[in-house]
Structure 1
């Protein structure tokens, strides 16, 4: 049976995260916080899953562009591989810079900068929207003439390296500081300190920042991580869509069509503070002031841990999974991620999500094990839950919170 060995990246990265956590504890550094780590990993789960579903599409696009519009026909060699890596990082620099300077692109990239921690889990904060946009930038590579297989191989390397620079435990790297993007450089990039804003956009090489005037060295001052306007929400959906909503509100406040378009392609600081206030009030966004108790923490860890195991299995055997199961798993994964964020915020409507997840699990079981003997107990379970919905909800909330 053919399996996807890239799935083993999940346990590898989790092991590295655990190692960083243990080292930080030994060094008495408060690098990890529970809620932040859970939300970071949750975003990463969604990205890894969506990436598995659409990676083939990206490969097809690269292959089609190279075969039909490629200016040159470039053969894979060590030299062309190095050239491609440099070009990939150069294109990334400009994508990344535009993602910070243009509202339309910032709406997709902002999720990566929401965490007020800075550790290996932050590297997981990539969204499907960001993947699609940066793929659009990388489409120049097959047009130049690089084959899709070569681009894919280089992008794997280009995607792995940044994981290791999302850390506070590494100091400066000596002479490599002049060539590579190091943890020190990337700490500056994730800082919300005024003197560090919009700096160090490179992914592997820092030379682009030095060439185009966006380099800033870490100077030893304490760094504050996250957004200049902290999100203060653990909601999975709000983290992904808050800036889109803020941007829409800000555009509606523009009196002319030209003003709306100008804002869409304008800088994030032009949006202002008012749209965030309006959006949070309308959607009732708030962060719970109560710390997660031990039981709640264990329950969320169990849910995220289960998802990680299921995601690993899904990626490992992705080529053998039919589309009905993929749809059911997609819905279950999204509901669980939304549920975990809502539990961290101690929302009362989480019981409805739990009920929906139960129905999905029952549906999946009946789809693959159409056993009449089990049909009636499952229907009875659903019926009892409907009849005693309110008392069960009360018991559930008392148990979780």
Structure 2
């Protein structure tokens, strides 16, 4: 059952979990709107479904998401492991509004929807792995790890019924990622780059009709091709492809892992105290988390401005945390202030080195 394959790379895994952090931040805003809207519609339902009725749970399990631009982030990892499940787009929260809401008018109670959402979320984790090869009889019913390496959804029975099923080929290595794979570990850039690409594609069209098609047809569409594009023009995804990777010294790998852990702690503190924090504090925590994930990605990508931005980020943390507790535990807060102070000095020194090198290079040119 277990194949014994490697579980993934630190840079790719932290990038995936960084997407999860940003996604959770977006939920702080969007989930309230979703639930309030669902409750409002449920109070005006046209059908009553009992909480204990099997029909309630069957109806609640129906869901569709057709906006590829809001989902492609999930496929941007070139590794396939449990952290890939965290790789979600913040735009998916916006486009998902309304997909569950018609069920409110059909009388599906809000608790049933919440339970379904949580079970669906938990289900996503175990199928993102290369370690599990076969699940026996379950392979005929649900989307197992083997199936999910090829398919989407929860129940594989639908693909078997409608002729879209494709068995994982043991003699063919799967190439994970996107057809046009972004060369970056920067969470913020990965969240937005495809949206920008879609808008640029639409802007490049010469007619209003083609502009709309660029937005609403398949990602492979171009003028003169079918709605989903011409398969003959698609890149060869079976060809071997070198995974995007950059060397990072061990100390920097440890550094970014520690700071990512701090961002996780800050996110948990924010979630716990969301209703008691002022909006300014909430905004500050959100900015800290977003900037942290962005700079970690920039560090992995080797962007020249990363050292300077990291020095500024660490200095800002010290300035804030010296007067206000972050975790609520004095010893931990004191240790973090000291750690961020040292980090500020380290990255300020490195940023000066980078700027000096850039200045000398500019003079030579």
TM-score normalised according to structure 1 size? 0.72
Is residue 40 of structure 2 the alignment partner of residue 64 of structure 1?
A: yes
In the aligned structure 2, how far is the partner of 1:38 from the partner of 1:366? 28
Deviation per CA, 1:256-297, whole angstroms, max 9, x where unpaired? 11110011111111269xxxxxxxxxxxxxx99751111111
1:201-220 map, 5 Å: 201-202=152-153, 204-220=154-170
Which of residues 129, 132, 145 in structure 2 aligns to 1:170?
132
- Specify which structure has the higher proportion of helix: 1
In the aligned structure 2, how far is the partner of 1:141 from the partner of 1:289? 44
5+ long unaligned stretches in structure 1: 1-22, 99-104, 190-200, 273-286, 370-377
After superposing the two structures, state which structure 1 stretch, 48-57 or 142-151, moved more: 48-57
> Which residue of 1 is the match for residue 31 of structure 2?
55
> Which residue of 1 is the match for residue 118 of structure 2?
156
Is residue 297 of structure 2 the alignment partner of residue 341 of structure 1?
A: yes
How many Å apart are 1:363 and its aligned residue?
A: 5.8
Please tell me whether the aligned partners of residues 332 and 360 of structure 1 are also in contact (alpha carbons under 8 angstroms): no
> Which residue of 1 is the match for residue 70 of structure 2?
108
> Which residue of 1 is the match for residue 229 of structure 2?
none
In the aligned structure 2, how far is the partner of 1:227 from the partner of 1:73? 43
1:174-323 map, 5 Å: 174-189=136-151, 201-202=152-153, 204-220=154-170, 221-270=172-221, 290-323=246-279
TM-score normalised according to structure 2 size? 0.79
1:74-85 map, 5 Å: 74-85=49-60
> Which residue of 2 is the match for residue 17 of structure 1?
none
In the aligned structure 2, how far is the partner of 1:227 from the partner of 1:299? 29
In the aligned structure 2, how far is the partner of 1:307 from the partner of 1:214? 41
- Count residues in correspondence: 320
5+ long unaligned stretches in structure 2: 224-242, 326-336, 357-365
The alpha-carbon distance between structure 1 residues 365 and 161, as it changes in their structure 2 partners (threshold 3 A), is same
Aligned Cα root-mean-square deviation (Å): 3.1
Is residue 38 of structure 2 the alignment partner of residue 45 of structure 1?
A: no
The alpha-carbon distance between structure 1 residues 397 and 125, as it changes in their structure 2 partners (threshold 3 A), is farther
Deviation per CA, 1:305-346, whole angstroms, max 9, x where unpaired? 111122223223433333221110011111111100000011
How many Å apart are 1:362 and its aligned residue?
A: 5.2
